[in-house]
Chains A and B, each alone.
Chain A
Amino acid sequence: MSDRLDVRKTYKLYIAGAFPRSESGRSYPVSGAGDTVLAHAAQASRKDVRDAVSAARKAFGGWSGATAYNRAQVLYRVAEMMEGRREQFIAEVLAGDGGTRDAAATVVDAAIDRWVWYAGWADKYAQIAGGANPVAGPYFNFSVPEPSGVVGIVAPQQDSLLGLISVIAPALTTGNTVVVLAATDRPLAAITLSEVLATADLPGGVVNVLTGYVAELAPWLASHRDVNCLDLTGVAAADRVPLAVAAADSVKRVHSPGERAGIGLDEPGLARLAAFVEIKTVWHPLGV
């Protein structure tokens, strides 16, 4: 018998390392797998998208300029922080996605392992994607991958946690900064993840998490001229074309993979790391 009042959590956005409510003041009910309302999440507006993109742009110099070794350490730290909140994630995945507790635990473990897996790639990817090129001339010629910039991501909508991590981790690994639209109907794990990111040495603005309606927000993200890449993983194939058209106006890289590619329990491969890098090739004269 306890007389304590419930201390309920306010689910907010994550922009520039802070947790604001939506600029619009709106929120929307989240039901997850069942019919009961689990919480009210902030319903982001186009101005929140704008603020998130400028935060990501501001953070880009520092994050992309950090050494790959340092990025690996920070990303591994995210996994450490998640491990400490494992039970909370399991409860939220269970509430959001339904199924059994064991299945939820499997997903959470896979999500933590995925951070570790991508963290390991941070200082190794350049060896795979870059290299010395044989050229027919007196030049030393080599290529290195460099981060593309600000990546706008629509997270997978059918899953709370593993899908989300599978899309943001690879973009971060190669040095990009991210604005991600979380799954509309199951955003609670995403918001908890942003609390993990805020305490994991990741500089503010490197990841910005927005909750709300994808149909409202994605067009603003797609047309924003300061966003360099667009990841449409969480958009149904039929709805991708107008977003790709809006993105084309500012010549964005658009990543439009199969709907479950690289976001399930299997090892994801390198396709997502390759999606958001630019290859810089340098010709250096020999013998001078």
Chain B
Amino acid sequence: MSTTEVAPPPGSVLDVSQDNASLRRFLHGLPGVDQVGAEARAAMLATRSIKSSAKAWAIDTAIRMVDLTTLEGSDTPGKVRSLCAKGRRPDAADPSTPSVAAICVYGDRVDVAVEALHGSSVQVAAVATAFPSGRVALQTKLLDVVDAVEAGAGEIDMVIDRAAFLAGDYLSVYEEIVATKLVCGDAHLKVILETGELVTLDSVRRASWLALLAGGDFIKTSTGKISPAATPPVALVMLQAVRDFAALTGDVRGVKLAGGIRTTKEAVRYLVMVNEVAGDRWLSPATFRFGASSLLNDLLQQRHKLSTGAYDGADYVSVD
């Protein structure tokens, strides 16, 4: 696909994408991130004390924001089906437990997940574009996306070309996202920045803006395949980006944190950060997600703790 067929992102008022030089001028013109300040602010937000009624709300909200994920070479159809069953009804013993937002699988397992989730509100998200490295030809990446969309995926998680980004070839990253968005059709596009490979917070801010300008519905921290993944300072910078983008364009985009979030305590801290940095309109599964697998079990255990008053154990949640 040649770049001339690519339409400019609808609704964008930031006309900076004619060529690499203007993109570069814009991205490098973004204010630099004060790393020490960002870390201090993130650490400060993590010290908020959450009382138990607010905690109950936070746990249920966090469950509704989970993209329950399995991304292993060994994912059998049976494993995907059991994960879908868990996503629909995370706690079989307590029907008041909300469903998760989505089930996130590899593209060739979308059909299994779509069938298993039929009739529920749970979306099917597929990782595509040669996840996790993204090191194949654009044409192949787009076919990967088309396959997943045709199989019924409602959300596509793409990876950006980190090598091109780090080499300063912003236009090619931009055009890849635009091209992917185009073949997504109605499916939501989440753009994985893989912040662990971007190294600096300045790069995270530039990549966030690049993905937002190109039309990504969500910006997502990581694939979960490399460490570090989602960290509080990275989340802070990305939330600032969607907030500023919304202020500038009126267009509200989402943030997905993935990788390394395993406990309720961390999840609640991130919800505090969403509220304080972006604003309460982002406290919804439509605009904020956790990509996680073991987090859900910890959320359920903390939910049990609140309802029974006794500390819970891993024997009372499923083994995934």
Contacts and interface: CB of A to CB of B under 8 A. Distances in A.
A, B: real partners: yes
Contacts of B311: 49-50, 53, 220, 223-226
Interface residues of A, number: 13
Contacts of A87: none
Contact of B314 (A220, A226, A246, A250): A226
Nearest to B311: A224
Interface string A45-64: 00001100100010000000
A227 B310 CA distance: 11
B316 interface: yes
Nearest to B316: A225
A78 B312 CA distance: 32
Q: Report the interface size class on chain B.
A: 10 to 19
A50 B308 CA distance: 15
Interface in A209-247: 220, 223-227, 246
Chain B CB within 10 A, most for which of A220, A226, A246: A226
B313 interface: yes
B312 A223 contact: no
Contacts of A278: none
B309 A225 contact: no
B315 interface: yes
Interface string B290-320: 0000000000000010001111111110000
Nearest to B312: A225
Chain A CB within 10 A, most for which of B308, B309, B313: B313
Interface in A11-57: 49-50, 53, 57
Given A53-B311, A225-B311, 11 more contacts: A49-B311, A223-B310, A225-B304, A225-B308, A225-B312, A225-B313, A225-B315, A225-B316, A246-B310, A249-B308, A250-B313
Give the 6 A-B CB pairs with smallest separation, nearest first.
A226-B313, A223-B310, A224-B311, A225-B313, A225-B312, A50-B311
Interface of B: 304, 308-316
